[in-house]
Structure 1
Amino acid sequence: MRLHTKDQAREGEKEPQAPPVAKWEPSIEGYLRFLVDSRLVFQTLEEIVERAAVPWYAEFRNTGLERSEALKKDLEWFKQEGHTIPEPSAPGTTYASYLEKLSEKDPQAFICHFYNVYFAHTAGGRMIGKKVSEKILNKKELEFYKWEGNLSQLLQNVRNKLNQVATSWSREEKDHCLEETEKSFAYSGGLLRHIFT
């Protein structure tokens, strides 16, 4: 929690790199860049667990948390509304490339990103989506923020799998996983900055 800002969590210690969400003035163009880059990151995560270069990645297939198809539908809706969908930009392509490299050579660090991307989206991500929707989308709820089934149960199922996988890790591997959290926050923050710039 200390990696959050005070605006994000009571225990936050980091200095904010952006104004609080309530003060954001998002644009459709910036939000589309965020959605496109987010889709690339989620799609990359899904492809990595599907390939399962590390056998236990297969445990994280079809969790119900997957987001790339929902984002595909949302981007199609924006297109039908007359908006131009941009290509992925540097924050998204850089993060996706980093995830690919980690998945092959550093599975504990990869799992840190997997956990943080999915779990952050279900928490702060939903709050951000609601605020942006209120400001620029007439309160339309995007598919990105909807899940089939009970979300808290889906999250608990993934937590259980993560804990089960981590039982075979050494103390050093567990610590290494945790140490990757700051990088995960930095990469995700790069995507979020699209919304308010």
Structure 2
Amino acid sequence: MPLKAVAGSATTAESAKTRHSGESKGFVEEMRFASMKLHTKEQSKEGEKRASQPEEGSVVKWEPTIEGYLRFLVDSKVVYDTLEKIVANAAFPAYAEFRNTGLERSANLAKDLEWFRDQGHTIPEPSSPGLTYAQYLTDSSAKDPQAFICHFYNIYFAHSAGGRMIGKKVAEKILNNKVLEFYKWEGQLSQLLRNVREKLNKVTEGWTREEKNHCLEETEKSFKLSGEVLRLILVS
């Protein structure tokens, strides 16, 4: 083989080696790969992480409580309220792309909490997991758009997938199969997600490789903070 061909092959091999998983399909696919790696095998067949927290095990084995679920819903609303406020105020112009996507959850959660109140349940005050995450989103959105976009993606897309499954299983166990508004969307969810996926790819296509890597590295923080909110479901 000519020397030039050998050199060319080496360069191609090196390029392939450094290519990020999903890169050819757009940055959202890279974020999805980074996210799936942090799932456990119990959560997804693509998961690679070993379960170390109660909420990381199979949802089928969960023993949720009404009290814990209410805490989860209240803290989730704090997080979604914050996300929607950040997007509405748009400290960075790119955030404005994600207004009125149809994925917003705050109003739906307000209806659910009102339903629980009507059933005679006391609605708790927001607790540390939700308040901590909301503050982190506020701080990072003002100075670190790559980090914020990572959280935005993971929060909304996780809820549309694993979040729905969790909602269904919890409803079977403690809500007589009632489907909360939190798990309902106007229009086709698949189309809403497709639209947001396109917007995310558009917003991130101008990022440098370093900025993209920084965004991907934030995935672990996103999982940690959202996991602490999710864990509230299992609190008695």
Asked if Structure 1 and Structure 2 have the same fold, meaning a TM-score greater than 0.5 normalized by the shorter chain, the answer is: yes
- Residue in structure 1 matching 2:80, options 42, 46, 58: 42
C-alpha distance in structure 2 between counterparts of 1:11 and 1:128, whole Å: 18
* Aligned counterpart, 1:58: 96
| Structure 2 residue 32 is matched with structure 1 residue 26 | no
* Aligned counterpart, 2:37: 2
* Aligned counterpart, 2:27: none
Structure 2 gaps of 5+ residues are 1-35
1:167 CA drift (Å): 1.1
| Structure 2 residue 141 is matched with structure 1 residue 106 | no
C-alpha distance in structure 2 between counterparts of 1:165 and 1:192, whole Å: 29
- Residue in structure 2 matching 1:185, options 204, 216, 223: 223
* Aligned counterpart, 2:48: 13
* Aligned counterpart, 1:67: 105
Range with bigger deviation, 54-63 or 5-14? 5-14
| Structure 2 residue 141 is matched with structure 1 residue 141 | no
* Aligned counterpart, 1:79: 117
- Residue in structure 2 matching 1:119, options 157, 181, 188: 157
| One-letter identity of the residue aligned with 2:47 | G
C-alpha distance in structure 1 between counterparts of 2:113 and 2:146, whole Å: 32
C-alpha distance in structure 2 between counterparts of 1:25 and 1:153, whole Å: 33
| One-letter identity of the residue aligned with 1:14 | K
User: What do the CA deviations read for 1:88-128 (whole angstroms, capped 9, x no partner)?
Assistant: 00000000000000000100000000000000000000000
| One-letter identity of the residue aligned with 2:220 | E
SS in 2 for 1:108: helix
| One-letter identity of the residue aligned with 1:35 | L
1:11 CA drift (Å): 2.3
C-alpha distance in structure 2 between counterparts of 1:147 and 1:10, whole Å: 26
User: What do the CA deviations read for 1:29-67 (whole angstroms, capped 9, x no partner)?
Assistant: 000000000001011000000000101100000000000
Identity %: 73
| One-letter identity of the residue aligned with 1:7 | E
C-alpha distance in structure 1 between counterparts of 2:114 and 2:45, whole Å: 38
Structure 1 gaps of 5+ residues are none
C-alpha distance in structure 2 between counterparts of 1:122 and 1:171, whole Å: 28
| One-letter identity of the residue aligned with 2:191 | Q
Dislocated runs of 4+, deviation >4 Å: none
TM-score by length of 2: 0.82
User: What do the CA deviations read for 1:146-192 (whole angstroms, capped 9, x no partner)?
Assistant: 00001000000000000000011111001111110011011110011
1:132 CA drift (Å): 0.4
SS in 2 for 1:12: coil
C-alpha distance in structure 2 between counterparts of 1:49 and 1:31, whole Å: 27
